Amino acid sequence: MRAEPPRPQPPSAVHALRIEQAGAEPVPASERHGRPWSLFTLWFGANVQFATLSVGALSTAVFGLDLLPAALAITLGALLGSALIGLLSTRGPGTGVLQLIQSRGPFGRLGNLPSAAFTVVNGVGWCVVDTVLGVFILRRLFSLDFTPALLVMVVVQMAIAVVGHRMIHYVERVLAAVLVVVFAVVSVYGFGDAASSPAATPFAGAAGAFVLTVSVTSARCLGWASYASDYSRYFPEATSKKRVFGAAFGGAALAGVWIGVLGAALGTLSVVSDPSAMVSGVLPASLGNITLFCLLLSTLASTVIDLYSGSMAALVAGVRVERWVSVVCVGSLGAVLAWFAGRHDWAGQFQDFLLLTGYWLAPWAAVIIVAYWWRERSTPVARLYDPAHRYGWGLPAVLVGVLTSLPFMSQSLYTGPIAAAHPGLGDIGHFVGFAVAGLVFAALTAWKPAPVSAQATAPLINV
């Protein structure tokens, strides 16, 4: 019978304040700690936040869906994206390494660089999104100008991300309990006042709006999936993979469906040009202010996940600095971009950002799934650090997936010919990219598997 992993107590606030020293190297057995339950609170807290609410609001306030089909589309998108978060999280305990280090297996060290660069962009982009949402709240609560509010957001979120892994888990665990109560109250008002049909006209027809809602909802979760196992790699190696999957999937899915559908309900009542008005507009003044403050805290907690993993991705890409320096650099870039983004069409930029990230992340996720749950169920950990393993079939498969998805893309920056000719399809670009990349990678690895050098044969990571 398999021995149960050790069950150490969760880190206290004092432990959480210790600055993490690890970088992109494997976590040694002596540093392993934690239980799968912490993934539930992490991903629940990370998804009970303003971005999830805002994505849900797009379905009704912008795309024009009725509330019931919007709820179905949000549920489908959240379940798809959360399943990827759960699946990729299961590889953390067995490997002890970052998600992007693991992708060196099918991509190779050099072939993995575009994925690392994109993950930095993804982290910076989500940092921008959440920072701007936090600025909206600060301006409404304290009547601050845009720039001072931005500085407050940047300083606080950088401080948490610099401390690192333990602090992030601790903050999310504390917030999860508070946010359940807050959003339960908001739900009473939001669902009670919601209209069955919004004022907006369906975007490219009801079918197109439905598909677009599934796309942006799943793309929001895909942004987390690219660094899912960053937050499970500290668990003891013997940790149950079923429990890891259940905790990560459950936390992300429960929050994604609940808060996303609540956003859709609020979207039937107002526009999303100022997202903070969605909440304050349906609540009594004092309760609205308390809710906005809690939303501010959840937005900060969400941003630090993107800052942390975005800075780790920079280390994987070869940037030779200390982890905390990488956090400051990524956060500073996000702050500059947030300053520009917050002064323009927020809803339109948000929609385009969600879709654009999905075009790369969906094919990338397909390659990872095929590689580690079909082609290479046991992977030498040394291979992930082997300098001779430069290229794999992952990058060509992703590029083919992205190119194949071009005709099916539909957003303000570019509309492909098939999407333009059949607007009822909505934007199915990243679904096409996911399917094609997975099939191409399977075919390429069946035809000619990537060689493994002698120094990359032990020890094995069993998944």
| pTM for the predicted model, two decimal places | 0.83
Within a domain: 5? no
pLDDT of residue 368 exceeding 90: yes
pLDDT at 458 over 50: no
Q: Which residue has the higher pLDDT, 84 or 162?
A: 84
Per-residue model confidence (pLDDT) at position 194? 67
Q: What range does the domain containing 314 cover?
A: 34-462
User: Would you state the pLDDT for residue 8?
Assistant: 45
Q: Is residue 332 part of a domain?
A: yes
* pLDDT at position 274: 61
Q: Is 368 domain-assigned?
A: yes
Instruction: Round to whole Å and give the CA distance between 219 and 358.
Output: 5
Most trustworthy range by pLDDT among 333-337, 341-345, 407-411, 449-453: 407-411
Please tell me the predicted confidence (pLDDT) of residue 457.
Answer: 47
Any domain includes 3: no
> What average pLDDT does the segment 402-407 reach?
96
Look at residue 29 and tell me if it is in a domain. Answer: no
* pLDDT per residue as tens digits for the range 250-300: 999 999 999 999 989 888 876 555 656 667 667 777 777 888 888 788 787
Q: In terms of pLDDT, which residue wins out, 160 or 93?
A: 93
Mean pLDDT calculated for residue range 235-262: 94
Mean pLDDT computed over every residue of the chain: 81
Q: What's the CATH code of the domain at 393?
A: 1.10.4160.10
- Inform me whether the pLDDT recorded for 232 exceeds 90: yes
* More confidently predicted of 208 and 110: 110
Q: Which residue has the higher pLDDT, 395 or 313?
A: 395
99 vs 451, residue with greater confidence: 99
- Name the percent of the chain lying above pLDDT 90: 26
Task: Give pLDDT, residue 186.
Answer: 82
- Segment 128-163, tens digit of pLDDT: 888 888 888 888 888 888 888 888 888 888 877 766
8 lies in some domain: no
Q: How confident is the model at residue 55 (pLDDT cuts 50, 70, 90)?
A: confident
**Mean of pLDDT values over 167-173:** 70
Indicate whether 389 belongs to any domain.
Answer: yes
- The answer to whether position 9 is within a domain reads no
pLDDT at 21 over 70: no
Q: Is the pLDDT of residue 9 over 80?
A: no
Confidence at residue 134, expressed as pLDDT on a 0 to 100 scale: 84
Percent of the chain topping pLDDT 70: 82
Q: Give the residue, 301 or 228, on which the prediction is more confident.
A: 228
Between 220 and 163, the more confident residue is 220
Number of domains in the chain: 1
